[in-house]
Structure 1
Amino acid sequence: MLINRPELYQDESLSSYLYRIARANYSTIGVLFSRFGITRADWLKNIFSNDQVTNLSVHLKKNKDDLLRRTYALNNYLWHDNLDTYLLRNRMKFCPECSKERVYHRMPWGLEPVSICLRHRSLLIDFCPSCRKKIIMDQFMTGGCASCGFRYLQTESISILENSIEFEMQREVQAALFQSKSIFQELGGLNIIQFLLLAKHSFYLLEGLPAFLGRSNMKIRIFQNRFNGVYLNKSSMEAYSYTFWMYKDFPYNFHYILSEFSKKPKKKLYAHKKEFEKLLNLVDFYFVKTAYEEFWVEELEKGTVRRDLSIFKQNQQLLVRKNHFRKEEIKKLTGMSYPKINSLHNSGQLDISLKKKGKTKQHFIDKSSFLRLYEDRKNYINKKETAEILGIQQGSISQLVKDEFLREVETGHSKQKLFLKMDVKRLLRESRGVFNPNVEGIKFYQVLIKYSVNGLSIVKLLKYIHQKILNPQLSIHNGKLSDIWFRDDEIIRCIDILKQEKQRADGMYMQDVMHFLRIGETKMKRLMESGQLVPVKIIIWKDGRKRYLFNQEHVLAHKHSYSNDPVYREGR
């Protein structure tokens, strides 16, 4: 039976109280463990089960809820599954000034984010000042280090200035921990869980940067500043202080840190950047995401980073915000060469400014001037795009230009001449005919294949379409030239026209002349020998045979002059 029950102090942990109960009843803490089924590990961590606390409350005649509040049950302080890492395990820290008043373990001393005693404005001590061994609960309660015998009451305090960023940070953090107040009210307010999560990811930005809180010759070491694998309390205080400062005067300080962070070696920068950016996926930190994106957009404008940075790959819309493009971006977007870009600048079509970064010169192109040019570029297309719209082979485009169905124009967008898209679409619209779901006849490319020997080409087809000799029909709505159908009789008519055109251009073969004059071969030879009809061209085949071509006008004139000649009639 526990006869003596000492006073339970307001901020005392249950482990501390159990130690004092054991001493007050002339017993060791081990005896108390056995009686209540408590392990030493539970006691050192100040974590007890519900049944253990229930049993203790009965024997100690104390309110169960009050005793439970004095343990590090996670739902007392840190309501998150992963935040048990913020509890000190098998060790503790203490305020030398508090211990001189009364020796007992205060609840805040077991929480990693608490690093300062606000009442005495002193740093909490987590290692023996003499031998640097970690401080354990029972050694603290007995008053001395088991390794070197140092008496903890002799520990000198390390004062923290009340107007320092460290003290301000601790005041905010402890108010959030113990009074459920918010941190950073100007940012909408963060609870303690949100702040710790913010700090966890922000450490990746801070790690390795030059110390800016009064230690200009040192670097911030958060992940490396440990002793015997344990995070030092002083290092913890500094890490949280840097984080706290970073989000004060937001986003000015935040952008300053990002500016320093961007100077890290690439390997570390990309690794740490990836870890920090995990924070941006959480809705609670949208304000951080916005300021973070703004910073990198500004850096892109300055030319210090490239558009292939992960932040731009994840959100392509960020690229819309910038006011300038670099030369290489324009080349990639448009295919224009650097001399062409310079030529557009010299002609006043592009505004280019020069910026120097060390020995490197960077050219930045004004976004508005580029967009004007780029929008105008949409009105023009090249040969390949023209062929795709018309539904014909690219090689046929040159013939359309030669016969003036299309007109090439010089622009500032390409070395090659281009076509106005509206002209190409108009040609298609005027050439493809009408839609007929029951169309019959022969298709566009079948005509070209079948009658190419007769000289029927794309240009000839378009010519006859525009002369209304051919009346094309479409098998599908809004089709291309390749979707056109023609009537067979109209195609035959075109073949006859081609034949006549060829005769006028090249001449009439002797057989055609004989047929036209209605004479035989003997009469034909007599006319040739007499010089009345002389061939304008003689074609000799490989086998030696000859083909004679006669000028069509001479043949017509001959027929007109000698139509009543008896010799002519005799020849008939």
Structure 2
Amino acid sequence: MIIGKTSWIGGIPITSLLNTPIIHEEESLAGFVYRLASANYYSSPKIIADHINLTLWDLQQNVFDKNMCKEISYLSNVDIEDLYERSYHPIEEYMDLKIKKLLFLKSSVKFCPECLKGDKVHKYLWGFNSVSMCIKHSLILSNCCQYCKRKIQLKSLLDGRCSACGFHYENSPVNRIQKQSEYYKAQYELHQFILGDNNCKFSDSELTLVEYMTLFDALFKLFDGLNTFIQPMSEGIYMKFDYHHLYDQTFYTAAFANVYWMCFVNYPHNLIYALESFDKSDCTMKKYRKRQFKKTLSGNKSFLFLKKEYEKYLLESAKAGRLNRNLASYDKETSQKLKIEYYNKRDLIERFNLSKGEVNELCVKGWLKPNIINKGKYINYLFEVTTAKKVISDYQLSQKSLITKKESARLLGISIESINTLIQEGIIEQKASLLNKQTSFIDENSIDKLTKSISKKAKKPERKEPSSLLSLKKCLDKYVTSGLQISKLIKLSIDGKIKVYKEGDGSNLTHLYFEEDEIKRFLKTESIQRDGYNLGEASKILGFGERTLHKMINANIINPDKIMKKSNNRVVYMFSQKCVDDFYNQFITASDASLKYQININTLRNYIFDKKIRNELSGICNRVLFEKKELEALLFTIRQQPKKKNFRLD
């Protein structure tokens, strides 16, 4: 307390004023100055305002610097620091006018009707725009006369009645808020933060009051016109964000509580929910609002935590198709981020030199699986970058390895007909182009595989050998009527069943050579496997003459598989390998039986004569033929009989 220094008021030297009222704990300095003047019977505080070089208008702003507080301290005997803390000067000293208007009431005051029922005091917190509730009484503050709706000046408030209509402010209707509601919690945390409580939620981040109010103001503008997201203040009463009516303390309380709910309750889930609701709404000027909101976030590094969440939301919204197609025109940053993660159809065409038809076909075939976004009559396609690069690389590689049949024939040195044969046998692979469905292509990789497989088996012919070898072309020309095909020669060579020789290192198959004897053996074996033995061949194998075999056919001892009549009326008999094998298993000649069973051939003939066994060729020819089972049974019976003893007579 400063005592003893003389101050001059109205030309009169005064050490301190005669009456110095007790300053209330929550009182603003402007309100105290008004009461100080009134306690000393001044008609207005103008005389004190003039003394400290302030107009009455400026005095109501509650902005007193240290020198002013020093003069007021001389007059009131109140500590300078106590006075200075009740002024808004410590907060707005370095602020521009725009921020000051955002933070403080400038042309009027507001009040709590319940508080005015006691001492008529203007409280420090009532001068903040963001403070819209009395925490002590859980009431929304009033900022106008509830009878004539005029704004309230500080002098009228301290008088307790409206200067225009005489309405007593303490009789104003009240709007009471439940202490458990988000509306009350939001205002309570704000009160504590302004008063310097470091344990409140607003103190969790490093944002200042100015930064909070700047951020909240940006959110008010963004969500203007939307219904609030939290429970209504009272049953059946739903509030809206209404930026142009925020002077109405009920609207402001609702808007502030909703923004608090977004930023401090279940963050960032509630914020994302609110942003999604905004995008789904029919609000006007959405693009402009978003651009302005993002501008606010980008203008202050302290908002980085919220900016990251907002940009993340924008990116996810773009992926999901909730944003307009012309995203780049109003949000280049999100558009660029989207391009880093996704291609659109135009990107694929330009970056990978694809046609529009190729991109469409890749989608239809399921190679590319875009994120399809229906946006009204437009459809957007987004392709994940990494996946799209791999798919297109594989596609272009597969297309690069495709060549026509004509190119394949020239590469292998054979005819297109031979190419078709190799395709049918699966030796080379045919593929259809993704787009040109009318033309068949050959996979060049399968030709390389064929060439390598032959090269592994092929030998280089000696100088003396070529004359004794047949080239691929000569083999086919000479034995084409015997059913020899290029596919058979290739398979036999690769499987190592015939020897193959090769001159040079190229893929030309005309440089292949084969041993003619091996070709003949193969064709003969194949002919037998396919058609069987003719009469002459079968007679040699069975050990009978052709005439005898013919008689055996007539006697149904052996039955050919095929009987064909030639154009010259000659009958041809064909015997399969099975037919020949079955005959061997069923019958045996006398000479073969003698060798197999170690029995004299004459003994066998005696068995026939004694009618112990039947000769199957009896009456057909002079040859002897037994049924194996019958002969073996006879021999088994004879060998089981005891041998007869020979008695000698002396």
Q: TM-score range by the shorter chain?
A: 0.5 to 0.7
Pairing 1:483-498 to 2, within 5 Å after superposition: none
Which of 319, 330, 334 aligns to 2:338? It is: 319
Contact 1:117 1:123 survives alignment (8 Å): yes
Quote the offset at 1:374 in angstroms. Answer: 3.7
Identity across the alignment (%): 25
Structure 2 SS opposite 1:179: coil
Check conservation: 1:351, 1:365, Cα contact below 8 A. Answer: yes
| Alpha-carbon distance change, 182 to 369 in structure 1, aligned in 2, over 3 angstroms | same
In the alignment, what sits opposite 1:65? 81
Q: Alignment partner for residue 121 of structure 1, among 131, 138, 160?
A: 138
Q: Confirm whether residue 299 of structure 1 aligns to residue 286 of structure 2.
A: no
Query: Aligned residue for 1:110?
Result: 127
Residue 230 of structure 2: aligned partner: 213
Deviations 1:340-399 (A, max 9, x none): 3332234442224656667776655455542213445787999xxxxxxxxxxxxxxxxx
Amino acid at match of 1:115: S
Structure 2 residue corresponding to 1:287, chosen from 305, 318, 323: 305
CA distance in 2, matches of 1:414, 1:291: 48
Instruction: Return closer, same or farther for 1:188/1:87 CA change in 2, 3 Å cut-off.
Output: closer
Match in the other structure for 2:250: 234
Deviations 1:404-444 (A, max 9, x none): 9xxxx9976999x9xxxxxxxxxxxxxxxxxxxxxxxxxxx
Two-structure CA RMSD over aligned residues (Å): 3.9
How far the C-alpha of 1:26 sits from its partner, in A, is: 2.5
Counterpart of 1:244, as a letter, is Y
Aligned to 2:58: 42
Q: Which residue of 2 aligns with 1:139?
A: 156
Any conservation in 2 of the 1:79–1:193 contact (CA below 8 Å)? no
Q: Residue 22 of structure 2 aligns with which residue?
A: 7
User: Could you tell me which amino acid in structure 2 is paired with residue 60 of structure 1?
Assistant: S
Contact 1:350 1:366 in 2 (8 A): no
Letter in 2 for 1:224: H
- Residues 90-138 of structure 1 deviation map (CA, whole Å, 9 limit, x = unaligned): 3111111111122111100111111111111111111111111111110
Please give the per-residue CA displacement for 1:310-346, whole angstroms capped at 9, x wherever unaligned: 4862256622675x65556545655645543332234
* 2:241 corresponds to 1:225: no
Amino acid at match of 1:114: V
Q: Which amino acid aligns with 1:349?
A: W
Residues in 2 aligned to 1:284 and 1:380: alpha-carbon distance in whole angstroms: 53
Find out whether 1:164 has 2:184 as its counterpart. Answer: no
Amino acid at match of 1:46: N
Instruction: Give, in angstroms, the shift of residue 145 of structure 1.
Output: 0.4
1:10-29 residue pairs with structure 2 within 5 A?
10-29=25-44
Superposed CA deviations along residues 231-277 of structure 1, whole A, max 9, x for unmatched, are 23223222222211122212211111211222356960111111100
- The answer to whether residue 296 in structure 2 is matched with residue 276 in structure 1 is no
Q: 1:210 to 1:375 in 2, by over 3 A?
A: farther
The separation in 2 between residues aligned to 1:59 and 1:184, in whole angstroms, is 40
State the 1:195 CA deviation. Answer: 1.7
Partner of residue 361, structure 2: 343
- The CA distance in 1 between the partners of 2:283 and 2:163, in whole Å, is 47
Amino acid at match of 2:240: I
Letter in 1 for 2:289: H
List aligned pairs for 1:424-435, cutoff 5 A.
none
**3-state SS of paired residue (1:213):** coil
Q: Which residue of 1 aligns with 2:327?
A: 309
- CA distance in 2 between counterparts of 1:189 and 1:170 reads 19
How far apart are the structure 2 equivalents of 1:333 and 1:413?
A: 19
Change (3 A) 1:307 1:325: farther
1:28-49: CA deviations, max 9, x gaps? 2244445554421122222234
Matched to 1:293, the amino acid is: E
CA-CA distance at 1:197 after TM superposition = 2.2
Stretches of structure 2 lacking an aligned partner (at least 5 in a row): 1-13, 401-409, 412-430, 440-650
Cα deviation, 1:276-300, whole Å, max 9, x if unaligned, reads: 0013323222221221122122222
Unaligned 5+ segments in structure 1 are: 383-402, 418-572
In 1, Cα distance between equivalents of 2:140 and 2:67: 36
Judged with a 3 Å threshold, the aligned counterparts in structure 2 of structure 1 residues 413 and 290 are, in CA distance, closer, same or farther, namely: farther
